[in-house]
Amino acid sequence: MSELKNLPHVALGVYPTPLYKLENISAKYGRNIWVKRDDLCGVALGGNKVRKLEYLLAEAKAEGCDTVFTTGGAQSNHAMLTAACAARLGMKCILILKKRGVTEHLGNLILDDIYGADVRFMDTDSYGDIYDEMDRIDTELAKEGHKCFHIPVGGSTPLGAVGYTNCVREIAEQLHGAEVGHIVSATGSGGTTAGLLLGARMYLPHAKVTGMGVDTDPFEDIVPDLAAGAAELLGTPLDRVPGDFRMVYHVGQGYAIPNPEDTPYIEELARLEGILLDPVYTGKAWSGMLKLLQNGDFDGDGDIVFVHTGGAAALFAMELA
């Protein structure tokens, strides 16, 4: 797509990531299920944020910024990958993380340090408080001649979502004739699912997108809004068709709380296919997807592609339930 080439872009991951059919799982569940291994994208322990950061950090560079702010929970995969990618581009990274969840020096907090991020905690439940703090620090740093780029939680802006259209282009190129009926991913802030929705409309017009919500925000609205914003940036219409997108919530006790129902599904995928899922995002999305399948909730007989969005560091910060 020539439009994509008009946006600033910096290569950070190793793409295309592998796409292959899960033979043992497909045989067990009686449906062809493929996995798109964005957990193997070549930065840190992999993950979905790298596709977004290829556009967001390119924009930061184009604006002449030398410092990047972002936020998330204490164990944010997005924050860790932002630290990794910013370091690679020679930018300073300041992470203002919610003092919530696992705040001990475990999992992603270890990796944040390895990547040289300036990690600060705020004891708040509100990202509004954190964005205010970013503005305050930005003003201080500007006086010293620095220019800061602000990435909101999850990198879920229309520009970040643009990165995920590339994932669907790759899937379309890698399928070798298989008919994809459904693309499924975890939804935590919405940008990944939004990019998949727009990408599906651009490259796989028969595929429907299912977002598996791992938090309770109103993603039915957030995802199409982000997809529309991304389409505008690309100068392409978002040609929606009825039923092309649905949200299904599989949150359990709450965001980032491992769900006992998911553990057998996480262990099954590890043991049948060798693939690790995390209990915060991919484990919930995967288990929620298989429950839908068992209830006959994936219409038609087209294949299902599960987008593995990473998150493995959580396995070193918390136990499965």
Ligand X SMILES: Cc1ncc(COP(=O)(O)O)c(C=O)c1O
Catalytic residues: 76
Give the chain's end-to-end CA distance (angstroms, integer): 44
Closest separation between CB of residue 164 and ligand X, Å? 8
Burial class (CB in 10 A: 0-12, 13-18, 19+), 296: exposed
Determine which residue in the list 25, 34, 36, 47 makes contact with ligand X, applying CB under 6 A.
47
Q: Does 190 bind ligand X (CB under 6 A)?
A: yes
Of 226, 112, 234, the C-alpha closest to 169 is 234
Determine which residue in the list 48, 70, 71, 157 makes contact with ligand X, applying CB under 6 A.
48
Q: Does 192 bind ligand X (CB under 6 A)?
A: yes
Q: Does 256 bind ligand X (CB under 6 A)?
A: no
Determine which residue in the list 188, 224, 252, 279 makes contact with ligand X, applying CB under 6 A.
188
Nearer to ligand X, 163 or 181 (CB): 163
DSSP string for residues in 151-178? --GGG-SHHHHHHHHHHHHHHHHHSTT-
Contact 57, 80 (CB under 8 A): no
Give every strand in the sheet of 19-21, ordered side by side.
19-21, 33-37, 303-308, 180-187, 208-213, 245-249
The neighbouring-strand residues paired with 19 are: 36
Nearer to ligand X, 34 or 255 (CB): 255
Q: Which DSSP helix (H) or strand (E) runs through 197?
A: helix 191-203
Q: Residues touching ligand X: how many (CB under 6 A)?
A: 19
Q: Does 281 bind ligand X (CB under 6 A)?
A: yes
Q: Does 152 bind ligand X (CB under 6 A)?
A: no
Q: Does 108 bind ligand X (CB under 6 A)?
A: no
Q: For 44, what's the count of Cα atoms within 13 Å in the CB-facing half-sphere?
A: 31
x/- contact string, 292-321, with ligand X (CB under 6 A)? Answer: -----------------xxx----------
| The one segment of 99-107, 108-116, 191-199, 200-208 that binds ligand X by CB under 6 A | 191-199
Q: Does 156 bind ligand X (CB under 6 A)?
A: yes
Closest separation between CB of residue 155 and ligand X, Å? 7
DSSP assigned state of 316: G
User: Beta strand pairing status for 180-187 and 148-150?
Assistant: unpaired
Q: Does 191 bind ligand X (CB under 6 A)?
A: yes
Closest separation between CB of residue 156 and ligand X, Å? 5
For residue 147, what are the CA distances in angstroms to 60, 65, 67, 82, 134?
9, 5, 6, 17, 12
Distance CA 259, CA 287 (A): 10
Q: Does 227 bind ligand X (CB under 6 A)?
A: no
Nearer to ligand X, 244 or 278 (CB): 278
Q: Does 101 bind ligand X (CB under 6 A)?
A: no
Nearer to ligand X, 141 or 249 (CB): 249
Fill in the amino acid letter for 241: V
Residues that bind ligand X (CB under 6 A): 47-48, 77-78, 154, 156, 186-193, 281-282, 309-311
